[in-house]
Structure 1
Amino acid sequence: MQHRRILLPAGDWREPDSGRFRSDIQIITKVPPHTPFGILEEHAGELEIDETPVFFSGIRYGSFLNSAGIATDPGRGRLLLVTGIAQPEPLKKYLKDAGILFTHMSYPDHHLFSDADIRKIEAKFRAEKCAYVLFTEKDFVRLGNSWPDDIPTLYLPVQAEILKDARGFDLRMLSFVQRFFAS
């Protein structure tokens, strides 16, 4: 059976670096917060290929949401942060910078939480006397219905944002979509 290559985010296929020569635009992702625009411009100049515009994106964290999807203030109590993502460091830095106390339990990227994992998380939550268990939105969705109702839970949505010239980016995307559907 032939493996079907589907690009991210639907699949797991990443475009090789050489593919940038075919691109209409380039997007450099995961730019750290508060990176000076001068540094971004310098990198854009190094990366542009035949006038291909370069955009930069970063991560913006949303409000803490409870299991019903309602914005919830985590208060001053300790949180138990549970992650199954490749790079939890930006999230940990975000929480530290916000003055939020937390204990971190890390699992591998794309981890499917077993009943045994849930029992370990619950035991850690109780032992640390945490106010909430905090998941990434991605991990929260993977819990399904197996999470105990009596454990207060929060998740933190993330959103990618274009850091400079977001309007120009949006106009280019709209133009591309219009051309695509017109043909």
Structure 2
Amino acid sequence: MLILRYLLFPLALLYGAIMALRNFLYSKGILHSHSFPLPIISVGNLTVGGTGKTPMVEYLLHHLASNKVVATLSRGYGRATKGYIALQENSTAARVGDEPLQMFLKFRPQVQSVVCENRVEGVQRLKQDFPNTEVILLDDAYQHRALKAGFSILLCDYNRPFYEDFMMPTGNLREFRSGANRAHAIVVTKCPEELSSTKRNTIQAAIARYAPACPVFFTQVQYQAVRTIQASKSFDAYQQVVLLTGIARPEPMKTYLSQQKQVVKLFAFPDHHNFTESDLEKVQSEWTAARADTCLVTTEKDYMRLKTHLLDTTWAHIPVFVLPIGLKFVEQEEEFLHLIDSFVSSF
């Protein structure tokens, strides 16, 4: 696979050149960017794969929704539908995508959520359907130049920094590293617990080569309290865990759970994987073969895609728990929130 990526290097250069030309045309106004008279905050990245966008959007929702009418607009990655859809109580992950559904169910009714692959159309229809909206959060829209976000947050995975990566298909970048200079704030995510000031300075210097005037912040994964799906079940009653995931990097979650329980099996499916009956039969078999004090743990995002399967009576006897994933700032959280609040209050 690695050799194939290097063999595709010419394609990476061509793809990068196309993206660079596209960005140039938008920057010069030759291609038009639509703007709207309300604060729009974009959360995105330069790389393919999970950098922690959903925890960041949820962090912003927690902060803003207390005194603002907030809405989220996502593409709805992995959904079986197209076009604009406003999420409702009966929405499913197959119809609207797992991450939009997760945020909607967690923050309703304070937050409205819609999906639309055309972000400009999405904002236009969102404003029609929810005219009281005061702030819009765009999930994964950094490359959507047709819509001009007033404040762009660029996420950079500590373990896969964009400044060490290259264009697809040789690397994982969606555009050249110089695209970082469009950000208003860059957040390095998934940092280790022990992050020295020397390491932070090194990272900041590397980022400054591409975005010299942009403030840089550092966050860590913060696993939250395990949530019970069946009211009669308690996570404390189980000593072993079967971990079921369809996320980009499940190993840190396995490590975290291993500090509390014995993880007897990790089912690591690709990000946004649509679980099949065959997949779930394997999970059931693993749980059946384990000791009686074994439970099943999954992520919030994966649970959105598992919900309909778990309604089947064959799952009634299996204890299922959800482990939510959040974030915490290493330092300078107040400075970051001041940037957000200053931008929102400028409208």
**Aligned residue number for residue 112 of structure 1:** 274
Q: Counterparts of 1:7 and 1:61 in 2: how far apart (Å)?
A: 21
Tell me the secondary structure at the aligned position of residue 58 of structure 1: strand
Larger relative contact order (C-alpha < 8 A, sep ≥ 6)? 1
Q: Indicate if the aligned counterparts of 1:29 and 1:57 stay in contact, CA closer than 8 A.
A: yes
- After the TM superposition, which residues 103-182 of structure 1 pair with which residues of structure 2 at under 5 Å, given as runs? 103-129=265-291, 131-147=294-310, 148-179=315-346, 182=347
- Of 38-47 and 155-164, deviating more is 38-47
**Aligned residue number for residue 240 of structure 2:** 78
Q: Counterparts of 1:165 and 1:75 in 2: how far apart (Å)?
A: 39
Query: 1:34 aligned to 2:34?
Result: no
Scaled by the length of structure 2, the TM-score of the pair is 0.46
Q: Counterparts of 1:42 and 1:75 in 2: how far apart (Å)?
A: 45
CA-based RMSD of the aligned residues comes to 2.5
**Aligned residue number for residue 23 of structure 1:** 183
- Of 164-173 and 64-73, deviating more is 64-73
Query: 1:91 aligned to 2:253?
Result: yes
1:14 CA drift (Å): 5.3
Q: Which one-letter code corresponds to 1:122 in the other structure? A: Q
Q: Which one-letter code corresponds to 1:100 in the other structure? A: K
- Stretches of structure 1 that go unaligned for 5 or more consecutive residues are 1-5
Tell me the secondary structure at the aligned position of residue 146 of structure 1: helix
**Aligned residue number for residue 65 of structure 1:** 227
Q: Counterparts of 2:252 and 2:277 in 1: how far apart (Å)?
A: 28
**CA deviation string 1:13-57 (max 9, x = no partner):** 654332211222111122122222331133223323343210112
**Aligned residue number for residue 128 of structure 2:** none
% of aligned pairs identical? 26
Q: Indicate if the aligned counterparts of 1:133 and 1:151 stay in contact, CA closer than 8 A.
A: yes
Scaled by the length of structure 1, the TM-score of the pair is 0.82
Q: Counterparts of 1:140 and 1:150 in 2: how far apart (Å)?
A: 17
Q: Counterparts of 2:231 and 2:178 in 1: how far apart (Å)?
A: 41
Q: Which one-letter code corresponds to 2:193 in the other structure? A: P
**Aligned residue number for residue 3 of structure 1:** none
Q: Indicate if the aligned counterparts of 1:26 and 1:54 stay in contact, CA closer than 8 A.
A: yes
**Which of these residues, 100, 106, 125, is aligned with residue 261 of structure 2?**
100
Q: Indicate if the aligned counterparts of 1:64 and 1:72 stay in contact, CA closer than 8 A.
A: no
Q: Indicate if the aligned counterparts of 1:64 and 1:74 stay in contact, CA closer than 8 A.
A: no
1:172 CA drift (Å): 0.8
Q: Counterparts of 2:232 and 2:343 in 1: how far apart (Å)?
A: 35
Q: Which one-letter code corresponds to 2:196 in the other structure? A: P
**CA deviation string 1:73-93 (max 9, x = no partner):** 344521101111111111112
Q: 1:68 to 1:37 in 2, by over 3 A?
A: farther
Q: Counterparts of 1:149 and 1:22 in 2: how far apart (Å)?
A: 50
Number of equivalences: 174
Q: Counterparts of 1:23 and 1:50 in 2: how far apart (Å)?
A: 11
Q: Indicate if the aligned counterparts of 2:240 and 2:262 stay in contact, CA closer than 8 A.
A: yes
Tell me the secondary structure at the aligned position of residue 221 of structure 2: strand
Q: Counterparts of 2:309 and 2:282 in 1: how far apart (Å)?
A: 13
Tell me the secondary structure at the aligned position of residue 308 of structure 2: coil
1:69 CA drift (Å): 8.1
